[in-house]
Amino acid sequence: MSPIAVEGPELNLGTSGTYLLLARPKIDPTQPGVITAAREAGVSPEEFAGPGDVWTLIYEAEDEGDGDGFELPGARDTEADAFAEQLQQALAAAEPFTVEAGNFLRLDARPAGADWTVTAHITPPEGEEDGPAARTLELGALPAADLLAELEQFRRELA
């Protein structure tokens, strides 16, 4: 993990070992890691932190160690909220579904009792040489109540 603390809206789906995180990080310019990095870059901590308006997708598979991720240039809060709303509606329908977030994330899910079995299909933006490859992650059986609570919290953070 980075020594730089970040805060901002985030949607965390999965388990502690296999997960994906859709987030709009906001770097805190008062954190020691940010201050040091800004000093090394020759800019103020506030300038180094920037506006905090770039969305990222971070993911990790339990059996593969370190996670990976990429920035989502051009992604907006309204798109993240629309994705979360689609996901909430699909969960409420209680039938197998597929929802997409742009061309970088597709979730396939099916009910399994009080849980949802979720598979994430992740496609990094084109043009990133040496960037992460497309991935499929089995997020496992996720409790429906936890998913809905996570989505509600995410949408509140965006509002």
Rounded Cα–Cα distance for residues 109 and 90 (Å): 9
The answer as to whether 159 is a domain residue is: no
d(CA 117, CA 109): 5
Report angle CA 141, 103, 99 to the nearest 5 degrees. 40
Q: What backbone torsions phi and psi does residue 65 show, to the nearest 5 degrees?
A: 80, -125
pTM, entire model: 0.80
Q: Is residue 1 part of a domain?
A: no
- 124: Cβ contacts below 8 Å, ≥ 6 apart: 70, 104, 131, 132, 133, 134
Decide if pLDDT at 113 tops 70: yes
Domain membership of residue 17 as a residue range: 6-153
- CATH classification of the domain holding 122: 2.30.31
Tokens for 27?
């770097």
Identity of residue 74: G
Residues 6+ apart with CB under 8 A from 51: none
Enumerate residues 6+ apart whose C-beta is below 8 A from 34.
4, 5, 27, 28, 45, 48, 49
Q: Is residue 158 part of a domain?
A: no
55 located within any domain: yes
Q: Is residue 78 part of a domain?
A: yes
Domain count of the fold of the chain: 1
The amino acid occupying position 11 is L
144-156 pLDDT, tens digit each: 999 999 999 999 9
The answer to whether residue 50 is domain-embedded is yes
Q: What is the pLDDT of residues 49-72, one digit of tens each?
A: 776 678 889 999 887 766 788 888
> Does residue 117 lie within any of the structural domains?
yes
